[in-house]
Amino acid sequence: MSLILKYLKEEKRSELNKINILPENIANKIAAGEVVQRPESVVKELLENSIDAGATSIELIIRKAGKSLIQVCDNGCGMSEDDAILCLQKHATSKISTYEDLEAIMTLGFRGEALSAISAVSLLEIKTERPEDEIGTYIRLDEPGTIIKEKGSFPKGTIISIKNLFFNTPGRRNFLKSDATELKHIIDTFNKIALSKPEISFKLYVDNDVVYDYKEGSIENRIKEVFAENMFDALIPVGENTDFIKLNGYIGKPSLLKKNKGEQYLFLNKRFVISKQINHAVFTAYENFLEKGDYPFFILFLDIDPAKIDVNVHPTKLEVRFEDEKDVYNFVLAVIRKGLGSVDLVPSMTFRNPIFSPEESTEKLAVNKFSRTETNDFTDRPDYAKKSYAAADFSDKEIDLIFNTLPEMPKNTQARPDIPFEKPMTQILHQENRQPELFNRREVESFIIQLHNKYILSQIKTGLMIIDQHVAHERILYEKALKLYDADLRFSQPVLFPITIELDPAKFGLVKELNDYLNRIGFMIKFFSKNTIIIEGIPEDVKLGTEEKIFMEILDEYAYNQKEKKLEVLDNIAKSFSCKTAIKAGDYLSEKEMRNLIDQLFATSNPYVCPHGRPIVIKISLEEFDRRFGRTS
Ligand code: ADP
Ligand code: MG
């Protein structure tokens, strides 16, 4: 016994001393708190142990959101009788033995603390039998310290049951959230782990019901199982492998950005981790697609030599450090950028199956999460009640009907002289600085109509294309503003009668501050006496007669963006300008104007997503029409 303990035992300390050495069972409970925070943490540790044990089939059984039972059954390597007892000790692990091993961890566990921590705060039972053994081992740990051991015949592998979690730490037990919340955490973790190991079959039972039954297979298959059958409509594959670092997986199309966070899956050497740096790299790649509060979806598998990373930052091993942080960052950024530039980003419309059985409802929910076309369709149509009957009161169903009654166009449009055909304008020149060809301009053929003075409908080779005129123009003007700023030409259209505006002091200050930016995109402003400005020139896209109104709206929008979204100055100016100057829903466009708009749109760097991240173009394929009409050929 150490001198200190002896000293304490003999109670020689004075009444004034305040420090106590904690009894071991209390110290263990505290240490357990770091690893075991809630039922979900137990689930994570047990599933990871089964994976490390080489299991090909894992079942998780949950009762009362894990508060009464968490059981994991695997067909892994099992444990010998001695190991089954040893594994409950602190720092007992079969996964590393020397410090050097820490450098090259390929297993999920290595700290040897999960089972001991869990057993400190629950009733634990192990049934295990190795493939090579005739008979297995049963271990029960009722109170910490009292081990009951029996021999018995069990399935090959290991079954670990955790009952009454936190029964002896009421503080923690009371701290747990509702069953629904705790269960959600468990399901999230179960799915993350299932995604990381598609080669293993996973089954989840909740209160005796099978909730998930994932078969072993490819990652593509697992993604479909976890999310939805049509998940891949919303995803772009990415991949790049070098000798030192590999990145593979899927990222969400920009039009499917989400306002909630939890849809980023990063697996580092097959371990789910959270990395601010990697998130930042991915978010940066999405740059212009993102608004504040948007989060791109991704499932990425990053593989790096384990010696070059450190996952031993925190007991939960969720955090990670990279040795070559900058290189990893740049690699991820480049791969995601390339992925975003490589595919047709137009959301195509897929309609829900008419047959909707209750069994499918969970899956359909997931489907809807990722196909925003449903909500983006035509829900925010302006109210036409005051206009002519022809345009009034179209329900979504009727709009669908309009699409469905469009005449079938023959393949060769030249053969239809009755349809006026204007050659697309020749702004194709701009195309060389575009990303890989996303859209075949020749696709824009024959008919083009404006729907409700809001959407432009046009036939394309693969079916029908629908463009939202306001956001399309917004994208054009946004890029134009950025170009004008860069070019610094200060090109402006003089107004006939200079416009004098009296501003409040705050706005006056703002205009002064932004004058150089405003000037570069085409506003010529003179500062007159106190709080008064005179506008002498405007950008060519501002309609005559609306100068003052638009200018004031731009200032308001700028102030709003600055406060609410913390946009950078130039980005904010360009966004505010494009948003307020663009043609609006409700503006009539001639055919020539529509074609012009389409031409300019497809000369921009990203014709498919507006600066705020909303889709600009939606395509409905002929197959989709055929399917809806029951045409099978
Ligand atoms: P770690 O996973 O960090 O090694 P744990 O406390 O989680 O620590 O587990 C301790 C040891 O128990 C493991 O190293 C492993 O040898 C053994 N073990 C745990 N779960 C299983 C299992 N399902 N199958 C076989 N062995 C297991
Ligand atoms: Mg472990």
pLDDT tens track for 411-465: 333 333 332 222 222 222 233 333 333 334 444 446 789 999 999 998 887 888 8
Compute the average pLDDT of residues 133-148. Answer: 86
In the prediction, which pLDDT does 426 show?
Answer: 26
Contact by Cβ (8 Å): 342, 414: no
Nearest of 138, 160, 173 to residue 64 by alpha carbon = 173
In the prediction, which pLDDT does 401 show?
Answer: 43
In the prediction, which pLDDT does 115 show?
Answer: 92
Percent pLDDT > 70 in the chain is 74
The tens digit of pLDDT for each residue in 413-426 reads 333 333 222 222 22
Q: Which residue has the higher pLDDT, 162 or 388?
A: 162
Half-sphere exposure of 601 (CA within 13 A, CB side): 31
Which stretch of 34-48, 51-65, 225-239, 575-589 has the lowest confidence by average pLDDT?
225-239
Query: Could you count the other beta carbons within 10 Å of the beta carbon of residue 135?
Result: 10
DSSP letter, residue 568: -
Compute the average pLDDT of residues 254-269. Answer: 74
Asked if the model's pLDDT at residue 256 lies above 70, the reply is no
Cα end-to-end distance, the chain, whole Å? 87
Percent pLDDT > 90 in the chain is 41
Does the global pTM surpass 0.85?
no
Ligand approaching nearest to the C-alpha of 311: 1
Task: List the domain boundaries for the chain.
Answer: 24-214, 227-341, 396-440, 467-618
- Please state whether beta strands 264-268 and 298-304 pair in parallel, antiparallel, or not at all (unpaired): parallel
- Please state whether beta strands 455-460 and 463-468 pair in parallel, antiparallel, or not at all (unpaired): antiparallel
Cα radius of gyration rounded to whole Å, the chain: 32
Q: Render 286-326 in DSSP notation, one character per residue.
A: HGGG--TT-B--EEEEEEE-GGGEE-TTSTT----EETTHH
Pick among 1.25.40.10, 3.65.10.10, 3.40.50.10320, 3.30.1370.100: CATH of 467-618 = 3.30.1370.100
Nearest of 575, 571, 577 to residue 550 by alpha carbon = 577
Asked if the model's pLDDT at residue 60 lies above 90, the reply is yes
Strand partners, 140: 125, 148
Ligand approaching nearest to the C-alpha of 127: 1
CA of 314 to the centre of ligand 2 (A): 14
Amino acid at 344: D
Ligand approaching nearest to the C-alpha of 51: 1
Query: Could you count the other beta carbons within 10 Å of the beta carbon of residue 252?
Result: 22
Q: Out of 43, 45, 48, 49, give the residue to mutate to test ligand 1, the one with the largest number of ligand atoms within 8 Å of its CB.
A: 49
Q: Is 262 exposed, middle or buried (0-12, 13-18, 19+ CB in 10 A)?
A: exposed
Contact by Cβ (8 Å): 550, 541: no
DSSP letter, residue 618: E
Q: Please indicate whether residue 77, judged by its CB atom, sits closer than 6 Å to ligand 1.
A: yes
In the prediction, which pLDDT does 287 show?
Answer: 75
Strand partners, 60: 72, 204
Rounded Cα gap, residues 31 and 511, in angstroms = 58
Contact by Cβ (8 Å): 66, 178: no
Q: Average pLDDT of the chain?
A: 78
Pick among 3.30.70.2200, 3.30.230.10, 1.20.950.20, 3.30.70.3190: CATH of 227-341 = 3.30.230.10
Compute the average pLDDT of residues 289-309. Answer: 84
Q: Please indicate whether residue 53, judged by its CB atom, sits closer than 6 Å to ligand 1.
A: yes
Q: Please indicate whether residue 79, judged by its CB atom, sits closer than 6 Å to ligand 1.
A: yes
Phi/psi at 435 (5° precision): -70, 175
Tokens of 235: 């995803």
Rounded Cα gap, residues 39 and 51, in angstroms = 19
Domain at 24-214: CATH code = 3.30.565.10
Q: What's the gap between Cα 161 and its chain centre?
A: 34
Residue in the structure block whose two tokens are 């000798």:
243
Q: Whose CA is nearest to atom 14 of ligand 1?
A: 93
Amino acid at 606: N
Q: Please indicate whether residue 189, judged by its CB atom, sits closer than 6 Å to ligand 1.
A: no
Strand partners, 201: 57
Number of H helices, E strands in the chain: 20, 22
Q: Please indicate whether residue 93, judged by its CB atom, sits closer than 6 Å to ligand 1.
A: yes
In the prediction, which pLDDT does 329 show?
Answer: 92
